[in-house]
Amino acid sequence: MVTMIYISERRASIMLSQQIYLKRIYPVAAIIILVFSILARVLWVGPPYIDLWETISSLYNPSHPEYNPVGAYFFWGTMATTGLLTIAMIVYVHPRLAHVKKGITIFGTFWMLVGAIGFLLVGLVPQHTLDFISPRFHEISAVVALIGALFGAAFYGLAMITGKPPLNRKLFILITVLMWGLIGLIVLSAGGAYLVFGTDWAGQTPIPNLSPLFSIAICEKVGFWVWIAYMGLIGALIPDHL
């Protein structure tokens, strides 16, 4: 069993090189995600869209699909492409990082896969189509994507810290600052909303005299693009051979 896993890791390592990942897969997927995101927003035709207070998922409103009849497809495409890119990142990173710290890397890959599944569910399962499972299936999928991405990045980072492979120190620090900065933003935003202002952090209705910084919408959007950047940076950080 161990031998089979080792062989599969080596095959993945050979099939997906750093050059292919960074010069073909990542840039193409990142551009698609960016273009789809822009189109999903531009094609909005409903009532005024409060950009800073609305979450990305608001680009599709199942109660009023006429608000974004075409843009909704680009929203779904954005999430599905993000899930696929996450899987491609795993295929590149896992076999290399596993040679440095196998156990921790496996935990990281598990959570990364959880995150990828979360993104795919958000993109492939329109809101309220699986209400028989849960009326909040969409929200649960989004939370699964967030938790998987954060835990996956944490375990991958721990594997690098404990395994001490020869990596670009400045690039590793940049990734660490990005991820911890995101966590700090979430804590500041949610803490300020609930503990200081006594408002609903998850609400998406503008509150007079309150900055949208203290709403989930800002954190979701920043977190999403931090994740897209992370997948490119870690591909640049992990060399072909460790």
pLDDT confidence band for 118 (50 / 70 / 90) = very high
Q: Worst-scoring range by mean pLDDT, 12-21, 35-44, 133-142, 168-177?
A: 12-21
pLDDT in tens, 158-214: 999 999 989 999 999 999 999 999 999 999 999 999 999 999 999 889 999 999 999
Distance of CA 174 to the CA centre of its chain: 17
Is-contact 67 44, C-beta < 8 A? yes
Q: Worst-scoring range by mean pLDDT, 1-5, 49-53, 137-141, 210-214?
A: 1-5
Query: What is the structure's pLDDT at 64?
Result: 86
Query: What is the structure's pLDDT at 109?
Result: 98
Query: What is the structure's pLDDT at 4?
Result: 43
| pTM for this model (two decimals) | 0.90
Give the tokens for residue 187. 């804590």
pLDDT in tens, 211-235: 999 999 999 999 999 999 999 999 9
Query: What is the structure's pLDDT at 131?
Result: 74
As a whole number of angstroms, the distance between CA 87 and CA 17 comes to 15
Give the tokens for residue 48. 């005024």
**Is 154 a residue whose pLDDT tops 80?**
yes
Query: What is the structure's pLDDT at 130?
Result: 79
Query: What is the structure's pLDDT at 60?
Result: 87
